[in-house]
Amino acid sequence: MAKIPDGPQLITYADRLGGDLPRLTALVEGPLAGAFAGVHVLPYYTPYDGTDAGFDPEDHAQVDPRLGTWSDVRRLGESHTVMSDVIVNHVSARSARFQDVVTRGDDSPWAPMFLTLSSVFPDGASEADLARIYRPRPGLPFTAMTLGGVRRLVWTTFTADQVDIDLRTPQAWEYLTSVVDALTDAGVSMLRLDAVGYTGKEAGTDCFMTASTSKYTQRILDLAHARGATVLLEIHGHHTQQVEIARTVDLVYDFALPPLLLHALHARDLEPLRSWLDIRPTNAVTVLDTHDGIGIVDVGPSDLRPGEPGLLLPEQIDALVEHIHDASDGTSRLATGAAASNLDLYQVNCTFYDAVGRDDRRYLLARLIQLVLPGIPQVYYVGLLAGRNDMALLEATGVGRDVNRHRYTPAEVEEALARPVVRAQLDAMRLRRDHPAFGGAFSSAVDGTRATLSWELARDGVTHRVGLELDVRDASFALRATRDGGEGTVLDESAV
């Protein structure tokens, strides 16, 4: 397994930033050169613009020809580490395999691959069994469908267009192996396992992060490692689960960081963040915002861990959500919960820039904290360009998460790259990618509203240092680093 550079990564849709894979490559090798060590290209499979923005592929092993080819993926990998999604839990209801089941029912060779209610509960499910199932959206995870002329309850964790697969079957593993092979053959060296926590459905459990989930995850890890790839798990849940999972896999997300930073900036309170720094895993991918919403379940109490407190108290979470809605002038409220058809129980749909009230100073401070913390910092394309909530797209689609999925024109990208807050982020990312201190030891100190985050490496008689001093009371900060034998300020609040 190759070592993955821990420099910043860009996370983006190919069509919504560059337009397609070749133009995305031109962008990261041109105006964004030197800022990113890797690129996480969100689903570019056929079709990339389905019901769930590519997370419902009809053909997971084929690049959508409107975006490019596997050769284009391989070309991007010549200059950057490429991460791609392996959608483990489900496939599109329009996929050829499932459509064969729709036509032929149990006579289809693919019938065992797809989960129905009776797959997990062959003797029937009680009310208690059904009520126990964990789902990120309201209602039960089943959709009535006709398979081979017979009405069945098909397991659909997310939407009726995304049919869950049964990882107990050889058909499922034949399918998943073909996906991993297609990606790694094209030079993809990082695999993100999407929704893997929902794969281990077992009677008598909540069907989330079960013992079977761990077994399936390990099997995918073995597949990936045999092909030289590293694996990132995408799990939303109680923060203690993330800590535990991190001990057994290559990488996890630090989904607790965004809400903790927003709490620190809105409430002028660093204590919850300090507590997290004491226990957070360092084999983490850090984010501010992503193609999904800003996670709340990751910092609160959870039914998944009854009786265990979260990193924030319930009243702090309530205040945080209201702060985000107020800071965004109410636009996030229109995109979140029952206001939007894409109803996620654990997320606020908002760009991070809007979540801090479009305050360049506080936004840049949050980005600097992310970049300085241990882990691989991943920067979402809308966040890179300090984008605002796209209310026109939300109105057009009615999908809450689309508020943070703007389609940038080349002119909009050029205009955004000229903004001081964007230029300052890029300067900080280039420092994060290239400065030797980030290969050394990390330390942190928190005192009230102030904090110092530092890296230091002594090598060949030279001490390399990077330090961020900050105060969330007034969002003042100074990023300092050693350079050319001296030490100076790289960025402070005057940059914006």
Give a yes or no: residue 180 inside a domain: yes
327 and 389 fall within a common domain: yes
Residue whose tokens read 């995918």: 220
**291 belongs to an annotated ligand binding site:** yes
Do 463 and 335 belong together in one domain?
A: no
Q: Determine the Cα angle at 17 with ends 39 and 158, to 5°.
A: 75
| Catalytic choice (234, 250, 360, 402) | 234
User: Mean per-residue pLDDT for 255-271?
Assistant: 97
3-class secondary structure, 94 = coil
Q: Is residue 279 part of a domain?
A: yes
pLDDT confidence of 303, banded at 50, 70, 90? confident
Residue 202 is among the residues annotated as catalytic for this protein: no
Query: For the chain, how far is it from start to end, CA to CA, in angstroms?
Result: 41
Is 263 annotated as a binding-site member?
no
- The residue from 436, 463, 484 where one domain ends is 436
Q: Binding residue per annotation — 90? A: yes
pLDDT digits (tens, 9 = 90+) for 53-72: 899 999 999 999 999 999 99
4, part of any domain: no
Indicate whether 147 and 286 sit together in one domain. no
The pLDDT score that the predictor gives to residue 133 is 95
Domain match, 226 and 348 both? yes
Contacts 24+ apart (CB under 8 A), 473-482: 473/268, 473/449, 475/265, 475/359, 475/361, 475/362, 475/365, 477/364, 477/365, 477/368, 479/368, 479/372, 479/428, 479/431, 481/431, 481/435, 481/437, 482/437
Residue 58 marked in a binding site: no
Find out whether 193 is annotated in a ligand binding site.
yes
Is 187 a domain residue? yes
Does the annotation mark 56 as catalytic?
Answer: no
Specify the 3-state DSSP secondary structure of 353: helix
Q: Which helix (H) or strand (E) holds 411?
A: helix 410-417
**Does 192 count as an annotated binding residue?**
yes
For the stretch 359-414, pLDDT in tens is 999 999 999 999 999 999 999 999 999 999 999 999 999 989 999 999 999 999 99
User: Does 52 show up as a binding residue in the annotation?
Assistant: yes
pLDDT at position 2 is 55
State the pLDDT at residue 361.
97
Planar angle of CA 11, 219, 140, nearest 5 degrees? 70
Domain boundary among 420, 436, 452: 436
Going by pLDDT thresholds of 50, 70 and 90, the confidence category of residue 340 is very low
Residue 486, pLDDT above cutoff 50: yes
CATH of the domain at 149: 3.90.400.10
**Cα-flanking dihedrals φ and ψ of residue 89, to 5°?**
-85, -25
Distance CA 239, CA 346 (A): 13
3-state secondary structure (DSSP) of residue 471: strand
Helix (H) or strand (E) holding 395: helix 391-397
Q: Is 347 annotated as a binding residue?
A: yes
Same domain, 139 and 219: no
Q: Which residue among 148, 164, 180 closes a domain?
A: 164
If asked whether residues 216 and 277 sit together in one domain, one would say yes
pLDDT at 383: 98
Q: Are residues 258 and 337 in the same domain?
A: yes
Number of separate domains in the chain:
3
Among candidate residues 46, 43, 24, the one with its CA nearest the CA of residue 83: 43
DSSP string, 97-131: HHHHHHHHGGGSTTGGGB-BHHHH-TT---HHHHH
263 vs 406: CA distance, rounded Å: 25
CA distance 11 to 286: 12
CA dist., res. 246 & res. 280, Å (int): 9
At residue 148, the 3 state secondary structure works out as coil
Kindly state whether residue 303 falls inside one of the protein's structural domains: yes
What sign results for the dihedral spanned by CA atoms 87, 93, 96, 97? Answer: positive
Whether 428 is in a domain gets the answer: yes
Q: DSSP alpha helices (H): ranges in 115-197?
A: 117-120, 127-132, 170-185
CB distance 307 to 244 below 8 Å = no
451 in the same domain as 394 = no
Shared domain for 478 and 342, answered yes or no, is no
User: pTM value?
Assistant: 0.95
- The stretches of 201-337 forming alpha helices (DSSP H) are 211-226, 239-246, 257-267, 271-279, 314-327, 331-335
Q: What's the mean per-residue pLDDT of the chain?
A: 94
Reduced to 3 states, what is the DSSP secondary structure of residue 187?
Answer: coil
484 carries a ligand binding annotation: no
For residue 229, count other CB atoms closer than 10 A to its CB: 25
From the candidates 194, 360, 390, 402, give the one annotated as an active-site residue.
194
The type of residue at 110 is W
| Residue of higher predicted confidence among 450 and 5 | 450
CA 462 from centroid of its chain's CA atoms: 37
Confirm whether residue 360 is marked as ligand binding: no
Q: Which of 446, 424, 404 is nearest to 364 (CA)?
A: 424
Q: Is 3 contained in some domain?
A: no
Question: Is residue 329 located within the same domain as residue 468?
Answer: no
* Residue 60 annotated as part of some ligand binding site: no
Phi, psi of 21 (to 5 degrees): -65, -45
Q: Are 40 and 107 in the same domain?
A: no
Domain-located, residue 2: no
Distance CA 175, CA 223 (A): 13
Range of the domain at 147: 96-164
Same domain? 261 vs 362: yes
Q: Per mean pLDDT, which range of 31-45, 221-235, 301-315, 425-439 is the poorest? A: 301-315
Kind and range of the H or E run holding 83 = strand 81-87
* Tens digits of residue pLDDT in 83-119: 999 999 999 999 999 999 999 999 999 999 999 999 9
